[in-house]
Amino acid sequence: MGRKGRNVTNRGGSTANAMTGKVVLVTGGTGSFGKKFAEITLREHHPRVLRVFSRGEFLQYEMRQSFRDERLRFFIGDVRDRDRLYRAMDGVDIVVHAAALKQVPACEYNPIEAIRTNVDGAVNVIDAAIDRGVGKVLALSTDKAVNPVNLYGATKLCAEKLFIRGNAYVGEKATRFSCIRYGNVIGSRGSVIPMFKAQRETGTITITDGRMTRFWLTLDHGVRFVIGCMELMQGGEIFVPKLPSMRVMDLAKAIAPECKIDHIGIRPGEKLHEVLLAEDEARSAYDTGQMYVIRPTQGRRPGEGNGSGERLPDGFRYESGTNGHWLEVEELRRLAGEE
């Protein structure tokens, strides 16, 4: 089974000044990530203003009632709407771009809508950030962007390329773009855990393929990793955290140990194992100890701020199925709130 996994909610390095006194905007800010980002940012990093940009009027109302913090500002808008982004980014110092269509089946069934949000929306964010003089933009990506086999992954690959090459468009301006690429988030909307919990009431849970593995992290860990990378980014990097893997069969044992398992077959666009860093990318990536940093191969290069790190060996591949760090059933139960 490999060695026992570490707690994936560990805190990153000190980033107390990353957002202090700054105006920060998060797109998709009423989603799982956005709410946790707001919670940690307001409590620990003391921005002057945190702007929440999203489409959901009622979700914004709920978030406003929950937080009741005068530093929060709410902008109803869609990343497809270029003009609204220009208005929302006026006076903004830092943008965290979390808005996306994320459900693989929904993107497969609505490909044009996925492209309009995930690709065209990325272009709008880039243009608005440059023209409004935003200092730093961090875009969230996914392991599914590596060697994509579904449309969601393909759109996120395109978005990564757009943000990294966006640094070439800034000219003499100060805007810098970087990306964060990580795996499945425990407890986020659309996570397999809520599905298993609902299915166990019937006595049977469904699994597509028992060999499947995934990278796994908590929402808290994901948010803290993003905040930490704000200090490190120089522009053009893709930051990849070192994460534990989990086996879907272990997750089933953790959530529904008494249930029958129905193997329904792998779905279109689904992988057996996920990859966070592919062999071709590894040639320009470095191991900094806590993460891998993929540095830009063209245009602007990062400075000393993110550390030099060690070059990765030829043929290096960071895959969930061959990872040396595994979450065991007991820790999965704890992380899933079953203990």
The predicted pLDDT at position 190 comes to 65
Residue 157 lies inside a defined structural domain of this protein: yes
What b/e readout covers 90-116, taking b as 16+ CB neighbours within 10 angstroms? eebbbbbbbbbbbebeebeeeeeebbb
The predicted pLDDT at position 197 comes to 87
The predicted pLDDT at position 269 comes to 80
Question: Among 189, 188, 158, 149, which Cα is nearest to 270's?
Answer: 149
The predicted pLDDT at position 305 comes to 39
pTM: 0.90
The letter for the amino acid at 308 is: S
Residue 113 lies inside a defined structural domain of this protein: yes
Residue 231 lies inside a defined structural domain of this protein: yes
The predicted pLDDT at position 105 comes to 87
Low-confidence ranges of the chain (pLDDT < 50): 1-16, 300-306
Q: Give 187's contacts (C-beta < 8 A, 6+ positions apart).
A: 32, 193, 194, 218, 219, 336, 337
Give the CATH number for residue 98. Answer: 3.40.50.720
Say how far apart CA 25 and CA 17 lie, in whole Å.
16
Residue 331 lies inside a defined structural domain of this protein: yes
Q: What is the pLDDT of residues 243-272, one digit of tens each?
A: 999 999 999 999 988 999 999 998 878 899
Catalytically annotated residue among 36, 102, 136, 144:
144
322: domain range?
A: 3-8+19-335
The predicted pLDDT at position 18 comes to 80
Structure-token pair, residue 254:
């953790």
Q: Give 79's contacts (C-beta < 8 A, 6+ positions apart).
A: 27, 28, 53, 85, 97, 99, 117, 121, 122, 124, 125
The predicted pLDDT at position 259 comes to 92
What is the number of structural domains in the chain? 1
Residue 215 lies inside a defined structural domain of this protein: yes
H helices of the chain, where? 32-44, 57-67, 82-88, 104-109, 111-115, 121-131, 151-166, 192-199, 219-232, 248-255, 279-282, 329-335
Say how far apart CA 149 and CA 218 lie, in whole Å.
25
Residue 14 lies inside a defined structural domain of this protein: no
Q: Which residue carries 């003089």 as its tokens?
A: 133
Residue 13 lies inside a defined structural domain of this protein: no
Say how far apart CA 160 and CA 276 lie, in whole Å.
13
Is 253 labeled as catalytic in the residue annotation? no
Report the chain's terminal Cα–Cα distance, integer Å. 22
